[in-house]
Amino acid sequence: MTATDTDTRLVLRHETIKPKIGARILNTKEELLTGELATAINELLEQRGVLVFPQLHFTDAEQVEFTNQLGGNVEELRGQAVFPISLDRRINQEAVEYLKGSLYWHIDGTMNPVPVRGSILTSKVLPTWGGNTEFANCYAAWDDLPENARAKIEDLSVIHSMWVTGLYHTPEPTLAQLRDWQAKGEVELPLVWKHKSGRKSLVLGNTAQQVVGKCLAESARILHGLREFATSEPYHYSHVWSVGDSVLWDNTGTLHRAMPYDPDCGRLLHRTILLGSEPFA
């Protein structure tokens, strides 16, 4: 167990989950909501990629307050402060198609000039089966790539698009669906994000379409090979939910996905998102 905060009154108490990813926070909800640990939490988040807060049982108001303490709560798709994550149409009719992409490795906000810094999920209803949320540390994966492999990819760029994401869960879309997805545009992003901190991470996931200047076949080998490496055991953490758990992850250096579950079972997570400040570079 270690401590990380110079505050003389409150210390951030945590334990490592795996050597390359994850930490479990041991402070009480009351201690966390003071705001006094926000700087230490943000520093630890960049180091570990994923922070687990076991069974805090945040209310929506408390989760928004905590998110604001960590750097600002961003309004969701339809202006909500808190977004329900569920494939059950009785809960989330309008967002089910959008959320299908969450079942595949991704970074949130690759189509935005400045992606969100991170997100917090709080479990409200468990699935009948499946439904773990998985994470992969793309900072650590980059650091562990052999030097010759890093040299080959460090300056490559990748086209990202929403329509490629759609093909993961709907491989035979109607023309109308395809046009709708493609209307959301494409962006060119670095394959290796050179952060202001001096660290580097891989930018991968289901929006990655093609490496600029490479044919489709070679592009697929590069992107799928790096994703396989980055999501392999040393860098991977699968969270098994208990009701009341909250999990925070660094979206700027961590891939994530939901594991399959019965879409009609009522599984429900409440999400808040942290304001981003650093564009891809």
> Does 96 have pLDDT greater than 70?
yes
> Does 5 have pLDDT greater than 60?
no
Average model confidence (pLDDT) for the chain? 94
What whole-number distance in Å separates Cα of residue 169 and Cα of residue 106?
13
Per-residue pLDDT reduced to its tens digit, 129-139? 999 999 999 99
Residue spans of alpha helices (H) in 134-174: 138-144, 147-153, 162-169
In a domain, 280, yes or no: no
Please report the beta strands in the chain, taking only residues with DSSP state E, as ranges in sequence order: 2-3, 13-18, 21-25, 50-53, 73-74, 83-85, 118-125, 133-137, 157-161, 186-190, 192-194, 200-202, 208-211, 236-239, 246-250, 254-258, 268-274
At residue 165, the pLDDT reads 94
- The range of the structural domain enclosing residue 60 comes to 2-274
> Does 8 have pLDDT greater than 70?
no
Predicted model pTM: 0.93
In a domain, 281, yes or no: no
Q: What is the mean pLDDT of residues 47-56?
A: 98
In a domain, 224, yes or no: yes
Higher pLDDT, 72 or 12: 12
- The alpha carbon torsion through 211, 212, 215, 217 (nearest 10 deg) reads 0
In a domain, 279, yes or no: no
In a domain, 6, yes or no: yes
In a domain, 119, yes or no: yes
Higher pLDDT, 173 or 74: 173
> Does 77 have pLDDT greater than 80?
no
At residue 95, the pLDDT reads 81
Grade residue 6 by pLDDT with cuts at 50, 70 and 90: very low
What whole-number distance in Å separates Cα of residue 25 and Cα of residue 52?
6
Higher pLDDT, 127 or 91: 127
Q: What is the mean pLDDT of residues 144-160?
A: 97
CB 135 within 8 A of CB 20: no
Which residues have C-beta within 8 Å of that of residue 88, sequence separation ≥ 6?
A: 263, 264, 265, 266, 267, 268
In a domain, 49, yes or no: yes
Q: What is the mean pLDDT of residues 224-247?
A: 98
Grade residue 214 by pLDDT with cuts at 50, 70 and 90: very high
What whole-number distance in Å separates Cα of residue 42 and Cα of residue 197?
13
In a domain, 252, yes or no: yes
Q: Tell me, what CATH number does 111's domain have? A: 3.60.130.10
Residue spans of alpha helices (H) in 33-129: 38-48, 60-69, 89-92, 96-99
Q: What is the mean pLDDT of residues 183-200?
A: 96
What whole-number distance in Å separates Cα of residue 6 and Cα of residue 4?
7
> Does 79 have pLDDT greater than 50?
yes
At residue 180, the pLDDT reads 93
End-to-end CA distance of the chain, in Å? 35
At residue 80, the pLDDT reads 86
Domain count, the chain: 1
> Does 7 have pLDDT greater than 50?
no
Residue 247 is classified by DSSP as E
Higher pLDDT, 91 or 25: 25
- The alpha carbon torsion through 178, 181, 183, 188 (nearest 10 deg) reads -120
